Amino acid sequence: MYLCDIHTHTLVSHDSHAPLEQQAAAAVAAGLNELCVTDHCDLLSGHGEPVTSFNWPAAKEQYHQARSRFAGRLDLRLGIELGAAPYDPKIARAILAEGGGEVDFVLGSLHNWIGEEGNIDLFYTRFAGDPDLCRRAVENALTNSWTLVTELADCYDSLAHINYPLRYIHRDGMELTLWDFEDRVRPILTEVAKTGHALEVNTRHGLDLADWPRILKWYRECGGELVTVGSDAHKPEHVAKGIPEALAIVKAAGFDSITTYRGRRPVTHRL
Interface residues toward Zn ion, by CB under 5 A:
81, 109, 232
In the complex, minimum distance from the CB of residue 232 to Zn ion, in angstroms, rounded to a whole number: 4
Please tell me the distance from the alpha carbon of residue 176 to that of residue 248, in angstroms, as a whole number. Answer: 26
CB of 83 to Zn ion, least distance (A): 7
Element (DSSP H or E) covering residue 151: helix 131-151
- Between 163 and 259, CB nearer to Zn ion: 163
> To the nearest whole angstrom, how small is the minimum distance from the Cβ of residue 254 to Zn ion?
26
Rounded Cα distance between 50 and 70, Å, is 36
As measured in angstroms, the least distance from the Cβ of 9 to Zn ion is: 6
Reduce the DSSP state of residue 239 to 3 states and report it.
coil
Of 208 and 232, CB closest to Zn ion: 232
Identify which of residues 143 and 254 has a Cβ nearer to Zn ion in the complex: 143
Nearer to Zn ion, 202 or 259 (CB): 202
CA terminus-to-terminus distance, the chain: 6
Separation of alpha carbons 79 and 230, rounded Å: 12
**Least distance (Å) from Zn ion to the CB of residue 8?**
8
Name the residue nearer to Zn ion (CB basis): 40 or 189. 40
For residue 251, give Cα distances in angstroms to 15, 91, 184, 218, 223.
32, 37, 25, 14, 16
* C-alpha–C-alpha distance, residues 258 and 141, integer Å: 26
Q: CA 268, 94, 38 angle in degrees (round to 5)? A: 40
